[in-house]
């Protein structure tokens, strides 16, 4: 079970969180012309990386905040966590 550092609450076990997928995906702006390819990339296409991956988790049984977690998908090592509005350098 992972041990995730919620930037709002501190270290909490994985069973308080739910997974939200790739955090690097950016939703196209509303009311903007979007090509089929662009839209498919947003909705469906994911890299499914092996290694360092920035992903979304929601602290559903805690503060209910969505957070970003930098995690190695192969080793499960967690490097850093960020608030939703924090820029990831």
Partner 1 sequence: MTQAFRIENGGLINREKKLSFKFNGKTYFGYEGDTLASALLANGVHLVGRSFKYHRPRGFFGAGVDEPYAVVQLYRNGETEPNIKATEQELFEGLEAKSVNCWPSVNFDIGAINNFLRIFLPAGFYYKTFMWPKSFWYRIYEPFIRKAAGLGVASTKHDNERYEHKYEYCDLLIAGSGPSGLAGAYAAAKNGAKVILAEDKPRFGGSLLTSDVNIGNQSGKDWADGIVAELKTMPNVVVKNRSQIFGYYDHNMLVMSEKVSDHLPSTKKYHPNKRLWYIRAKEVLISSGSIERPIVFGNNDTPGVMLSSAAKEYLKVYGVLVGRKPLVFTNNDSGYETAIEFKKHGVDPVVLDSRENPVSEIIDEAKNLGINIKNSYVVVAAQGYKKVKSADIASISENKKQLGKIENVQCDCICVSGFWTPTIHLASQSGNKTKFKEEIDAFVPGQSKQNEITLGAANGVFSLEETLKTSFTAGSELSKKITENDNKIAIPNVVEKKSSQHDKFWCVPLPKGKNYKRFLDFQNDVAVSDIEIALREGYRSIEHVKRYTTLGMATDQGKTSNLNGLQLVSEIENKVVPAVGHTTFRPPYTPVSIGAIVGREVGKHSKPTRKSPMHSWHEKNNAVFVDAGVWLRPRYYRRGNENLFEGSKREAKNVRTNVGVCDVTTLGKIDIKGPDAAELLNRVYTNAWLKLPVGKARYGVMLREDGIVMDDGTTTRISENHYHMTTTTAQAANVLSHLEYYLQLVWPELNVNVVSTTEQWAGAAIAGPKSRDLLQKLFPNSDVSNEGLPFMGYMEGDLFGVKARIYRISFSGELAYEVNVESDYGNFMWEKIIEVGEEFNIQPYGTEALSTLRIEMGHVAGSELDGRTIPFDNALEGLVSKKKDFIGKRSLQRSAFIAEDRQRIVGVVPLDKQTSIPEGSHLVKDDKAPLPNPKLGHISASCWSVEYDNPFSLAILKDGKNMIGQKLFAMSPLKNKVIPVEIVSSHYVDPKGERVRS
Binding stretches for partner 1 (CB under 8 A): 1-3, 13, 18, 20, 27-28, 30-31, 34, 39, 42-44, 56, 58, 60, 64-66, 75-76, 78, 84-85
Minimum CB–partner distance for residue 43 and partner 1 (Å): 5
How many other C-beta atoms can be found within 10 angstroms of the C-beta atom of residue 17?
20
Minimum CB–partner distance for residue 2 and partner 1 (Å): 6
Minimum CB–partner distance for residue 49 and partner 1 (Å): 18
Q: Are the C-beta atoms of residues 38 and 28 closer than 8 Å to each other?
A: yes
Angstrom CA distances, 26 to 12, 39, 88, stand at 27, 11, 14
CA 23 to chain CA centroid, Å, is 4
Could you tell which of Zn ion, partner 1, none binds residue 60, using a CB distance below 5 to 8 A set by kind?
partner 1
- Tokens standing for residue 63: 């503060």
**For partner 1, which is the closer residue by CB, 46 or 76?**
76
């Amino acid at each position: 079970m992972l041990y995730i550092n919620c930037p709002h609450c501190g270290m909490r076990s994985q069973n308080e969180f739910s997974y939200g997928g790739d955090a690097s995906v950016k939703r196209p702006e509303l009311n903007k012309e979007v090509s089929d390819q662009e839209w498919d990339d947003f909705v469906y296409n994911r890299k499914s990386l092996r290694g360092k991956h920035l992903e979304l988790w929601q602290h559903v049984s805690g503060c209910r905040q969505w957070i970003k977690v930098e995690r190695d998908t192969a080793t499960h090592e967690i490097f850093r966590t960020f608030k939703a509005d924090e820029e990831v350098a």
